Structures are given as structure tokens and as C-alpha cells.
A and B are shown apart, each in its own frame.
Chain A
């Protein structure tokens, strides 16, 4: 049986999803300010790494990385409402790309598992 990553379309799917997902995130006033000062290319690379992880693909993400990477944003008020917004866009992006609902829910479950690390709890 093929893995979730393979069913989604592998690296090609990540490439397709990153623009859609990142554009949604930047267009959302609830969360856009957290991305105000970042280098877009570096940020896009991180978004790709995040999507690969959420898609069940090969990655070297650790909880500690997630904590360290978001600690400065938690100080600026990053919380559940923002995390929820990102998950909403993740689901919305995949729907826009025509991904099946059962696969989307698996991706959301994986992304959800990073919540406590991202929010440093």
C-alpha cells in the first residue's frame, strides 16, 4: 500500500501546494503580521518543509526545532486562534487542489500534532 505522501503526489504535490498555501496565509489579516519581516524565499523553504512533514514525507523536523523556530512569535502573541487559522488554510489549499477529504484529514491530524511544540506548551 502506498504511503500518504505518495497518495498525495510526493514532492510535486508539495511544490504545487506551497504557493497556494503561503498566498492564503499572507492574505489572512489574522496572521499575516507574523510574516511581515521575513525573507519570503527562506520562509517558502520552511513552508515546504512543513508541508512535507504534514504530508507524511521525508523530513528531519523535531519538536525542539518547532519550539525554537516559533518562540519569538509566541512572545508576540502567537496562540491557538492563529494556529487554527493556519490549519484552516492548509485544508483550504488542499481542497483547492482537489485532494480527497480522507487524505486532507490525515494531513490535518499530522499538522495538529505539532500544536503544543509550535505554541511552546
Chain B
């Protein structure tokens, strides 16, 4: 029987006997990052596009990685042919058309894109939006693939931001807008419906958190779900009314907004989100934690959530790096 092949970027490579997927790719001159080669450090993660993965190639991976067929290439000795790609490289370019754009507040536009052949994604993952001239920026999906026949993004107007200014000023219904993706590991995975969940973020970090919230509720999550949205002032709490409505309808859901500048007159606490989120939840041992938004705040929240008892594997962080910052 011939040895099974590994297909990578369209080319097939025949594996030698007892050769791991990593060693096979390295032997063929493909630059795959790796370190320990013993299934520990997870630097050699790849994603299976097709073919069956042996169980021991996924030991120790977090649930979102399992759900997306990620595996440790250094520990992978498949019995059959396998097509693999780099993490997050699997997403194809999907042509889309703008279904609707409206303002959620003074600076956040809700952009809904319809794709005739919609890519399979999970609420909370992100896509690259591709402007016809080739400019590319990433935005997270706030929509729910099972309910919505469009993909929804929340686009904050960034002064001098080429994509966001274009979306706010020039883009209109019916325009073509291609998407590439999805990517990212910030999404809900069913299987533990009673586990408490913390969703915390700032600005349009709310987009993926809102998607994850809707997904969790739609999939029957019964444990407490706390969503903490932080903003500079109350005008930035752009889904306030909708989230309060959802709180009324779902007793397990708690919405806790906070603002940096405010006088408390409107009942919204004035607080830093990193302190406020943890004061809403208490210790986080056994919790699942999703953090999205400004990179500094995500990093601070990530550390605080970990020190408050959340397992590293149960913290899903998505820092929004603005092109102005990078």
C-alpha cells in the first residue's frame, strides 16, 4: 500500500514511514513553525481541510481549535490522505453585496453583507473586508449564521481610517464588497450549557460578543451569561436598548454596561471595565471568558481573568489592532 500523502497549498507530498506531518512538510522545504516537537508547545498548529485526524494529534487543544480541525503537526501520523493548511488560511474569498448600512450611534455603522454563497462561519469569528481597490481590514461577525442571511459587522469610524471612512461615507446598498475568512477562535462551543460565561469588551468589541451571546442563547445555554460593555461615555453603548430587551427575555443573561466618563445620573456606573467586569462576576474559576476590543484592555482583562481563576484554555481573547496602531 502506498504511503498516504499530505496536501499543502495544492501540492501533494508522500509521507515516509512513521513520518509526522510536520517532518514531511519540513523535509519538503515548507516553512512551518515548530518548537518542542513533542506535542506540548503548540507552535506547530495546522488546520485540516479534509481527511481524518488521528486523536492523539489533538491532545490538549482548546475546544474552539478542535471545532475547527486544528491539530499538532508534530504529533500527527495519519493513516490516510490529509489536506492541511496554516491556521486561518482556509477561508476563501466570497463575493458579497451590501444589503444595508445604518448608524447604530454617531460613530458606529452596522454593515450587513449578503453573500450568494455564504462562507461557513461562527458568530464572533472575523472576516477580512476587501475593498475593490484591494484595501483589506478585519471585522468581527455579529450575525448568527443560522438566523441571518447576511453577515453583520460593526464599523467604528476611525479618523483617518481608510476603510472605516469609506464604509461610513461612500459605501451604499447594492455595492460589491468581498469577504475573506472566517478566522479567529472567539466563538461559542456547545457542550457545557450550564457553564458561566463572561463576555467583556470595549467599543465595537461588542460585535463579536453580541454574536457569541446570540449563539449561546440560540443553542440553549442555561448557565449565567454576563456581558460587560465598556465605553468612554454612554453614547458609545450602542446596543444598550437591544441588550436590555434581551435581558428581559432571558433570565440567565445579565447586561452590565460601564462608562469612563459619566455622572451616574443615567444609572450607568462610571468604572474601568477591567475592574467593573470582575466586580460583576466575582472569582472566575470554571468560567468561560471572551474578551474583545482595544488591545491594551483585552490584555489587562486577560491577565485579570486568569488571576481571578479562569483557565488559560477557557479565555478567548480577540484584540482589535487598528491599522493606525500597528
Q: Which chain A residues have a beta carbon within 8 Å of chain B's beta carbons?
A: 11, 14-15, 18-19, 22-23, 26-27, 40-41, 44-46, 48-49, 52, 57-61
**Pairwise interchain contact B307-A57, C-beta atoms closer than 8 A:** no
**Pairwise interchain contact B307-A27, C-beta atoms closer than 8 A:** yes
**Pairwise interchain contact A19-B312, C-beta atoms closer than 8 A:** yes
**Pairwise interchain contact B312-A40, C-beta atoms closer than 8 A:** yes
Inter-chain contacts of A48 with B (CB < 8 A): 40-42
**Pairwise interchain contact B40-A22, C-beta atoms closer than 8 A:** no
Contact of B311 among A19, A52, A58 (CB under 8 A): A19
Question: B interface, how many residues as a size bin?
Answer: 20 to 34
| Other A-B pairs, 8, CB within 8 Å; known A40-B317, A57-B40, A58-B37 | A40-B299, A41-B317, A44-B312, A45-B40, A45-B43, A48-B40, A48-B41, A48-B42
**Pairwise interchain contact A49-B40, C-beta atoms closer than 8 A:** yes
**Pairwise interchain contact A58-B36, C-beta atoms closer than 8 A:** yes
Q: Which chain B residues have a beta carbon within 8 Å of chain A's beta carbons?
A: 35-43, 59-60, 299, 302-303, 306-307, 311-312, 315, 317
**Pairwise interchain contact B307-A49, C-beta atoms closer than 8 A:** no
- Complexed CA–CA distance, A41 and B311 (Å): 11
Q: How far is the CB of B320 from chain A (nearest CB, A)?
A: 15
**Pairwise interchain contact B307-A40, C-beta atoms closer than 8 A:** no
Inter-chain contacts of A27 with B (CB < 8 A): 307
Inter-chain contacts of A19 with B (CB < 8 A): 306, 311-312
**Pairwise interchain contact A14-B306, C-beta atoms closer than 8 A:** no
- Complexed CA–CA distance, A45 and B49 (Å): 24
Inter-chain contacts of B302 with A (CB < 8 A): 40
**Pairwise interchain contact B307-A11, C-beta atoms closer than 8 A:** no
Pairs across A and B, CB under 8 Å, 26 listed: A11-B40, A11-B60, A14-B40, A18-B312, A23-B307, A40-B302, A40-B312, A40-B315, A40-B317, A41-B312, A45-B35, A45-B41, A45-B42, A45-B43, A48-B40, A48-B41, A48-B42, A49-B40, A49-B41, A52-B36, A52-B38, A52-B40, A57-B40, A59-B40, A60-B37, A61-B36
